[in-house]
Structure 1
Amino acid sequence: MGTGDPAGSVERLDVTPLDVLDTRSPELPGLRPCFIENRGQLDDGEVAYYAPGGSVSVGFGPGWAAYAVREADGQHVTVFRTTFAGCEPVTPTARDPEAHPTSYFIGPDESEWVVGARSYRTVLYQDLYEGIDVAYYFEDGCLKYDVVVGPGSDPAAYRLEYEGVATLEVDGRSGDLLVGAGGQVLTEAAPRAFQVMDGRRVEVEAAFQLGDGGTLGFAVGDHDPSIPLVIDPGLAFSTYLGGTKEDYLNDMAVDEGGHMLLT
């Protein structure tokens, strides 16, 4: 799945469960959303990769993802964080590099400049739980993630804890997840699940399942446990790199309380 990197070599991450995914987007004109590696341009070194956006920005660190949501007034930002619960923090990695690097020339001191930070199409959390990986990527300008459950692994082990949100509920009619943050209700589309059997995609029933303490998991229907299972929710609430002149991100950091700060 990986592509060549003009700036150097990137080791292909051969993880069997993830091989059922193809997160590569079709070639589009102009600059498409991607994840930028943090090589010191952000103050907080725990942010390994990030994607700046007009309405929502996201940063990825060891065992967590933090989202900064611009409020309706355009002046304030609300931050919430999702943490993979019940597992050791896993540092994210990336694959599918983009051809274009990003450079940051901030201030007069050239030693502080960052030249050639690479961008990627996919951010991975591998072996979060035994045999379970998570892949983040973009589709039609929106952030998505897939939970990939390897053969013999239990999808019930996956739990995501939401911190810093006002409300968290599942819509009884659509099955969508409704996240209250920043005076808005953000929608995460109901999950779909599938397995690939004999070269064809077989749908599996799946739904969001809320647990105690603001945790989220999945209820999954009958499936073949000997074959990888892909659970595919959709983050429909965010469009990145909106293209307006106000869409700038100078810095992002996550403090000890898990708050992502944008300037």
Structure 2
Amino acid sequence: MRKKVFLTLLLIASLLSLVWLASSQFTASRSLTKAEPSTTPSMPSKEAVFVKLADLERGWVKNEGQWDERALFSAPGYFGNTWITKDGELLHVAVKGKESWVISERWVGGKVQTITPEEELPTKVSYFIGNDPSKHKTNLPTHRYVSLGEVWSGVEVKLKATQKTVEKLFYVKPGADPSKIVVEVGGAKGLKLSKDGEIIIQTGLGDLKLSKPVAWQEKDGKKLPVEVSYKLIGKNRYSFVVAKADPSLPIVIDPILQATYLGGSGNDFVQALAIHTGEVYVLGETFSNDFPGTSGRASSRTDRDVFLTKLDSNLNLLQSIYLGGNGNDFAGDLAISGSNIYVVGGTHSNNFPGATPRDSSRTDRDAFVAKLD
């Protein structure tokens, strides 16, 4: 009798152990929005991830067929996307809610000879937009800078992409004249100088601003500040006035384009987060804009796509994937099993990637499950 009781208790204990093990494995694969964060000391907290996401450097992405053929590079900014055309023109797509506005910048009296990406970042980007596999692009590299070369004689222009904005860097060689730099702003309702030395760009959505420029020269490894200010030319052009610079040294001039009407981007949403084998996965939604067709009010997309981002344990961005179609797409949750990632959500798109196309007249939302390696 004792032997039977002992065997019964042993069987129950074994079953409970199996249940506990299965439950642990299931919980570990669930999104951390529904489970406790990893207790591994070296892994970051959810709060640390969110703070890092707000200041990630995503870099320039080259057009490999995922956008309009007139676009060559694109970078996200605090207020919207910035595009570089094949001619070297800049197009800034400012977004406010469901409205958008395009501001262009052209180099007056100068010419872009070459457009070259510089300083490749560790981040790779993939686009799965629409259900045409030939237009899906994977593992595209990103770069910190794009050089437009010597646009004016003795003046090189570089464009630096950060999470919040795009910086224009003008490198003036010794003896070159900074007043050669003349930029024409298209799509603006007007330009004006603020009392703080900024250029206010008036748009139909509110004001953008070019921050007061800074300039410097380098000597013996030290940065020496140089006096610089804007000069408005006519209704829609600006240049720079530089004073007290050493003519034997190069000058770097750095104005930054900023938004004053948003107060926060408001265009990206995190819905789920998971930590798996030392890496952090973030699932969310983003409003992406296609290459704009005209100056002024943009004829660009204002619907949302799903994104999945992977970071290492030090919160360096490794890869981002954009997933969506021709309508609004919504992220729900994610789970990781082995080498596969499962994403669930909802879609209004009729051409969601990997799915059977829906009737184009439908506008209701369907659920989706996507499997990624």
Superposition TM-score, scaled by structure 2 size: 0.56
Q: Could you say which residue in structure 2 is the equivalent of 1:60?
A: 84
Counting only pairs closer than 5 Å after superposition, residues 1-263 of structure 1 correspond to structure 2 as 29-30=52-53, 31-43=56-68, 45-53=69-77, 55-61=79-85, 62-71=87-96, 74-138=97-161, 141-171=164-194, 173-237=195-259, 243-244=268-269, 247-249=286-288, 252-255=290-293, 261-263=299-301
CA shift at 1:143, angstroms? 2.5
Instruction: Check conservation: 1:66, 1:260, Cα contact below 8 A.
Output: no
CA shift at 1:121, angstroms? 1.1
Letter of the aligned partner of 2:186 in structure 1?
Answer: E
Distance 2:291 2:162 in 1: 26
Distance 2:175 2:230 in 1: 21
Distance 1:255 1:183 in 2: 18
Instruction: Check conservation: 1:57, 1:240, Cα contact below 8 A.
Output: no
Detail structure 1 runs of 4+ shifted over 4 Å in the superposition: 28-31, 238-242, 256-261
Distance 2:159 2:119 in 1: 12
Letter of the aligned partner of 1:255 in structure 2?
Answer: G
Closer, same or farther in 2 for the Cα pair 1:78/1:258, shift >3 Å?
closer
Which one scores higher on RCO, CA 8 angstroms, separation ≥ 6? 1
Distance 1:243 1:110 in 2: 26
Q: Could you say which residue in structure 1 is the equivalent of 2:44?
A: none
Distance 1:128 1:109 in 2: 38
Distance 1:63 1:29 in 2: 31
Distance 2:136 2:268 in 1: 25
Report the structure, 1 or 2, having the larger helix content.
2
Closer, same or farther in 2 for the Cα pair 1:189/1:53, shift >3 Å?
closer
Distance 1:257 1:243 in 2: 25
92-101 or 131-140, which deviates more? 131-140
Closer, same or farther in 2 for the Cα pair 1:123/1:261, shift >3 Å?
farther
Instruction: Check conservation: 1:196, 1:202, Cα contact below 8 A.
Output: yes
Q: What are structure 1's unaligned runs of at least 5 residues?
A: 1-27
Closer, same or farther in 2 for the Cα pair 1:53/1:235, shift >3 Å?
closer
SS at match of 1:101: strand
Closer, same or farther in 2 for the Cα pair 1:200/1:100, shift >3 Å?
closer
CA shift at 1:202, angstroms? 1.3
CA shift at 1:141, angstroms? 2.9
SS at match of 1:111: helix
SS at match of 1:262: coil
Distance 1:117 1:258 in 2: 30
| CA-based RMSD | 2.6
Instruction: Check conservation: 1:69, 1:181, Cα contact below 8 A.
Output: no
CA shift at 1:84, angstroms? 0.7
Closer, same or farther in 2 for the Cα pair 1:199/1:192, shift >3 Å?
same
SS at match of 2:105: strand
Letter of the aligned partner of 2:58 in structure 1?
Answer: P
Closer, same or farther in 2 for the Cα pair 1:260/1:89, shift >3 Å?
farther
SS at match of 2:149: strand
CA shift at 1:113, angstroms? 1.9
Deviations 1:194-252 (A, max 9, x none): 11122221111100001124111001102122211011212232877953255321x52
- When Rg is computed on C-alpha atoms for both structures, the one with the higher figure is 2
Closer, same or farther in 2 for the Cα pair 1:248/1:132, shift >3 Å?
same
SS at match of 1:175: coil
How many matched pairs?
231
CA shift at 1:87, angstroms? 1.7
CA shift at 1:42, angstroms? 0.2
Letter of the aligned partner of 2:223 in structure 1?
Answer: R
33-42 or 108-117, which deviates more? 108-117
Instruction: Check conservation: 2:217, 2:224, Cα contact below 8 A.
Output: yes
Instruction: Check conservation: 2:101, 2:296, Cα contact below 8 A.
Output: no
Closer, same or farther in 2 for the Cα pair 1:185/1:107, shift >3 Å?
closer
CA shift at 1:89, angstroms? 3.6
